[in-house]
Structure 1
């Protein structure tokens, strides 16, 4: 582990937070890739609005992944966003292929956003209980953004 820069945290807590951050980094990267898969393949009524929305949501998720990775470095760790790590550790199921309908994509992607938001809320609690309020705040902000984007995307679904 690199020299720890975050003052006030024990090495044990820093290591725990690095693991927690990297686990959530895998989920967020997987969510980004799911969004791009959707973006590239959706077709039909409402296409352009969802297509443009996904450009915006992807940019926000990329900012979240950068923030998570930077926090890992601040705590003295090494962010691991490699494809093999993401594929191994993400809580998300593989994004479905072979679908093109806007509604099918919107439902599949909204489900994934909600799942990542749920894992972020669990991480908020874990970080708070460990005494790392900065990491808890980071997860809180990420959860708010992903919840809002899940709502934006899901608003395009026809159930």
Structure 2
């Protein structure tokens, strides 16, 4: 382990949090890439609004991944955002490449955002139980951002 900059946290807790943070980093990176896949391939009614929204959501989720990676370093670990690791460890299935319509992408991407947010909420509980309130707070803020973006994206789905 590298030098740890967070005090008051045991080595065992730091290691547990590094693993938890890296697991969620893989999910967030995968979600970012899914958003870009959607951004590049959507077509149809409402295209431009969703296309522009996805630029904004991608920027926010990149900030989330940076914050997670920085916390890993603070705890003495090494962030691992390599594509091969993301493929192996993300909770998300491969993004479908056979869809093009805005409503299809909106539904798919919204469900992915919700799944990552759910994992983040589980991580909040785990970090809190481990006594690392700073990491729990980081996960709380990340889940708020992802929940809000799921709502922004999902609001573009056609009403049934």
TM-score of the two chains, using structure 1 as the length reference: 0.99
2:100 is the alignment partner of 1:100: yes
Tell me which residue corresponds to 2:113: 113
Tell me which residue corresponds to 2:10.
10
Aligned counterparts of 1:77 and 1:116: Cα–Cα separation in 2 = 22
Query: Paired residue for 2:23?
Result: 23
Which position in structure 2 is the counterpart of 1:62?
62
Deviations 1:108-139 (A, max 9, x none): 00000000000000000000000000000000
Query: Is 1:155 the equivalent of 2:158?
Result: no
- Unaligned ranges ≥5, structure 2: none
Question: How many residues were matched structurally?
Answer: 159
Q: How does 1:15-54 map to 2 (within 5 A)?
A: 15-54=15-54
- The ranges of structure 1 where at least 4 consecutive aligned residues each deviate by more than 3 angstroms after the TM superposition are none
SS of the residue 1:77 aligns to: coil
- Alpha-carbon distance between aligned partners in 1 of 2:84 and 2:66, rounded to the nearest angstrom: 18
Distance 1:21 1:113 in 2: 17
- Tell me how far apart the structure 2 counterparts of residues 122 and 31 of structure 1 sit (CA, whole Å): 17
Q: Distance in 1 between matches of 2:5 and 2:55?
A: 34
Tell me what 2:142 maps to: 142
Aligned Cα RMSD in Å? 0.5
Structure 1 runs not aligned, ≥5 long: none
